[in-house]
Copies of this chain bind each other. A is one copy, B any other.
Amino acid sequence: MVYGAILAGGTGSRMGAEIPKQFLALQDGRPILIRTLQPFLKCPQIEHILLAVHADWLAYTKRLLHQWAPKSVVVTCFVGGSDRNETMGCILQEMDRLCAAPDSILVTHDGVRPFVTVDLLERSIAAARQYGAAIAAIPAVDTIAQSEDGLTVSGLLDRSKLIQVQTPQTFQFGLLRQMYRRTDAQQLVNMTDAGAICVAQGQPVHLVTGSRLNLKITTPEDLKMAEWIDHIMADDERHLQSGRSGKA
């Protein structure tokens, strides 16, 4: 069985907004979180979606789900932790409560990456089935440099070997649970995500080709870009549909 898990516990302090960014609206008033959820709902393999949010926004999220999400896929909505790794812990607990089998696939994804596609979800699931752990990534486009002080460049990295890690990050559930159990709280503090925990434990992590459009919305500038991408994708969808109905 395949589970989707969307991490949406952030409170959005970086946006300077009172509303956490995953609840800000794209076109037609549709919140980013709902836009993120839709490919999960459309993906034929995903049978159950776990949605981790902040306690203050639990009731609000449930109302959004009633308004926007069809009832065809089960969505469990619950309170996540105070950071990414705590929230992953809550998701793993929820998987245990659901008696998920160790060979289940868990597709984890940022609540503020609304432009994930069904195709990327399907390739992630296939790769995790085959390799145990798979993360979406794109080649680094800009030159990546190091700066110790944020004012001057202290070194340059060999771009040809660098990749930008995105989500989905997809795992065999049993394997991921084992990785988290082996990592103590002290180590977790230095880990950015589940992919990092696998790498630290020597678990091979397979790469799946992501997309530059699969951006993470963290600043007002990103939100602006997201609005445009949403418009383009909606246009493409309309063209595709008018093409299918023989009008194009």
Contacts and interface: CB of A to CB of B under 8 A. Distances in A.
A42 interface: no
Interface in A44-97: none
One complex includes copies of this chain to the number of: 2
A98 interface: no
Contacts of A219: 212
A161 to B, nearest CB: 5
A135 B153 contact: yes
A164 to B, nearest CB: 4
A221 B146 CA distance: 27
B165 A195 contact: no
A34 to B, nearest CB: 21
Nearest to A152: B204
Given A199-B156, A225-B212, A146 B162 contact: yes
Given A147-B163, A192-B143, A199-B156, A213 B205 contact: no
Interface string A158-191: 0101111110000000000000000000000000
A-B pairs with lowest CB-CB distance, top 3: A228-B228, A142-B164, A143-B165
Interface of A: 135, 137, 140-148, 150-153, 155-157, 159, 161-166, 192-193, 195-196, 199, 204-207, 211-213, 216, 218-219, 221-222, 224-225, 228-229, 231-232
